[in-house]
Amino acid sequence: MAEAEIFINQVGYRLLDNKNVFVSKATKGESQEFSVIEKASGKSVYTGALVAAPDDAESGGGYFTGDFSSVTAAGEYFVKVGDKESFAFKLADNVYDELTLSTLKYFTESRCGQGICHTGVAEVYGSETGETKNVQGGWHDAGDYGRYVVAGTKTVMDLLLAYKKAPESFKNFDLLGEVRFELEWLLQMQRDDGAVYHKISCYHFCPFIMPQEEKDKLVLAPVSTAATADFAGCLAYASGFYKDTDPSFADTLVNAAIKAQNYLFSHDDEFYINPPEITTGGYGDRDVRDERYFALCSLFAVTGEENYLTQALKLREDKKKDNPDPKHPWNCGWQEGFGWPFVSGYGTEILLEKSEELPQELLAEIHTCIISQAEKYIETSNESAFKYCSKFVFWGSNGAICDLAHTLLIAYELTGREDFYMVAKAQIDFILGANPLNYCYVTGAGTKSPVKPHHRPSGASGKVYPGMLAGGPCGGLFDAYAKEHLAGLPALKCYADAEPSYSTNEVAIYWNSALVYILAQI
């Protein structure tokens, strides 16, 4: 049977979740309703109306939707429209357990070093004395084998915040042990004066080979404010998770964070741009006030020193004066961001953990800011055929909507409003199949998932690693494959399950961690 354009969450739904199906105009035909069919018996358990979904430019319009939230019995089902059938899905309260574990195991699979790969010393770029440094461990960042501080710290924060909010979600995985592997690498990235090298990689990306086959020279890229501030914020926060079991390690993390912050206090912004000899991922950032804010909030939380909070709030007020540019979301004024270029949300979430120590007017302002931001995501979701909560479909869009769902879940915690929770959950549905391409974007999950990710170990071994979140649709068409095959399509259809399409089908640790954060709480 040909694949029907009936779009559902292919992994499934918890019993009491809100449940929606989406259907293309061509598949709907003359049908006015849909049926939910129990797979084992073939019997219809529910019939509902199909109504027109909003027409939006991102999906191209012409879709219909139906609600089957009233189906709450555990089991396996599919949706039928006319004579066409959707992929099967499950209803169970533990429906995301296996998926969550799979996404977590990706980090273990992404470990570098351990006597296997990248075991040589690295050159310190620009050193006049030929300085070298032995840096081992950490997670390979994405489809390549670089290790990047701004990406790694964002990843650690997502995982630790998820663990703090829902520790029961990690009962079958040693999260703190896995995170410690990354933290121990981060400690090696700090210079004696407190500054932090931006990244370690080879000078250029390697072919699609296994990590142990990459033998080119390693290089430590120059220090940057973004890396140093993210390092300070991340390590200070992480220290609290180890203080009872390993107080010495916790102290090491705090002291390294303070050392990094002291460097930041005494140095102007140092923006990272790849030197001409280094062509691996840049992760550059032209505004580091949010990174500095994150570091200061975290250090205030762990030390109680008021000066850290005072300096953080100065940065917050300064950035709030910026005029947002709706055409360029990176010039957005103040936002509680959770992407690697926008880390202010991590600082704010840490402050909320210390809410009893904050002035009431500051707490009220933070609540207003988060709720206002989350309400905009609801508005965007309501205007979308697939309840997608962003107007910007760019590189890493799947990770980005998880980051927006992060904000929605905080707003839900603050208010108890179900609409915040439901829109956050809708982003999981989108990623797991309720999207116009019928893809479950996590490798090895659902019925139709990526089989040709831009991921060197998968390509070199011929075996797709499970539990990896593909970057997803990207309207920018940044790679040659996307330009050739996707031009002219609506943004949410600009995805190719093809190894060369790095702008749509690469994977990354900080996209996986963003998904883990929302899966852990939903």
Residue in 85, 413, 497, 499 annotated catalytic: 497
Look at residue 201 and give its three-state secondary structure.
strand
- Distance in angstroms (rounded) separating the CA atoms of residues 315 and 269: 13
Which among 17, 58, 291, 506 is annotated as catalytic? 506
Could you tell me which residues come within 8 angstroms of residue 327 by beta carbon, excluding any fewer than 6 positions away?
A: none
Cα distance between residue 49 and residue 52, in whole Å: 10
Q: How many whole angstroms separate alpha carbon 280 and alpha carbon 204? A: 5
Identify the bridge partners of residue 196 per DSSP, sorted by sequence position. 190
Which amino acid makes up residue 56? D
State how far the Cα of 9 lies from the Cα of 89, in Å rounded to an integer. 7
Alpha helix locations (H) across 383-507? 397-415, 418-431, 456-461, 480-486, 502-505
In sequence order, what E strands does 356-460 have? none
> What sign has the CA pseudo-torsion 384, 385, 387, 392?
negative
Q: Residue 223 is encoded by which pair of tokens? A: 């220090």
User: CA-CA distances (angstroms) from residue 373 to 110, 315, 378, 404, 417?
Assistant: 34, 19, 9, 9, 14
Respond yes or no: is residue 305 known to be catalytic.
Answer: no
Residue 448 CB: number of other CB atoms within 10 A?
16
What sections of 64-200 are H helices per DSSP? 97-109, 149-165, 175-188
**Phi and psi dihedrals of 123, rounded to 5?**
-75, 145
Asked whether the beta carbons of 86 and 78 are under 8 A apart, the reply is yes
Number of residues in the chain:
522
Sign of CA dihedral 370, 374, 375, 377: positive
> Does 76 participate in catalysis according to the annotation?
no
Q: Which two tokens stand for residue 442?
A: 């996590």
**SS (HEC) of 25-76:** HHHHCCCCEEEEEECCCCCEEEEEECEECCCCCCCCCCEEEEECCCCCCCEE
Q: Which residues are catalytic?
A: 497, 506
